[in-house]
Chains A and B, each alone.
Chain A
């Protein structure tokens, strides 16, 4: 695990790539949850976009 992390962050370029990929995955999960919650609230008639 430690060597894998060391390898991922071995230089600035790889560090940036690792950050971009990992945060993109986390951010995508967050966005999907928000989108799902707002969509479901819309279908339930709790909120409206009219």
Chain B
């Protein structure tokens, strides 16, 4: 649980938590309007965390974090496939992390546009990060229990 909180929950939750704290600061009106909780994640920023999780998973799959390289033996025959999968997921996260910054999502939603359509980048990046976190958690705890 400690590993999961520090490695997965903290990087995802900390920016949102600090954005919440900014609301209590005596900020100018213009800046106060920028303290919406969705702002730090609406343009695909979650994928930066997803990329870090994929990179860590690649590191662990290759057994570099284990003294005996045990994970390499555990996934013998499928290690390359697992690495390729995390590599492809990392590429997808990178596309969204960079592209989200280029095509930023407006804070205000146009009338008649559904929430899911307006915040499509946020939804897909949250999904990628959740998938990366889930797969990395499985890989990590296989090493711990080995």
Q: Spell out A's residues near B (CB within 8 Å).
A: 12, 15-17, 19-20, 22-24, 26-27, 29-38, 40-41, 44, 46-49
Interface of B (DSSP majority class) = helix
Measured in the bound complex, the distance between the Cα atoms of B98 and A41 in whole Å is: 34
Interface of A (DSSP majority class) = helix
Question: Number of B interface residues, CB 8 Å?
Answer: 37
Q: A16-B100, A31-B89 known; 5 other A-B pairs, CB under 8 Å?
A: A15-B99, A15-B102, A23-B95, A27-B131, A47-B75
Q: Spell out B's residues near A (CB within 8 Å).
A: 74-79, 81-82, 84-93, 95-96, 99-100, 102-105, 120-121, 124, 127-128, 131, 135, 138-139, 142, 145
Contact check, B124 vs A37: say whether CB atoms are below 8 A apart.
no
B73 to chain A, nearest CB (A): 8
Task: Give 12 pairs: A residue, B residue, CB < 8 Å, sorted on A.
Answer: A19-B99, A20-B124, A23-B92, A23-B128, A30-B84, A30-B88, A31-B135, A32-B85, A34-B81, A34-B85, A37-B85, A38-B78
Contact check, B85 vs A33: say whether CB atoms are below 8 A apart.
yes
Inside 8 A of A32's CB, which chain B residues have their CB?
85
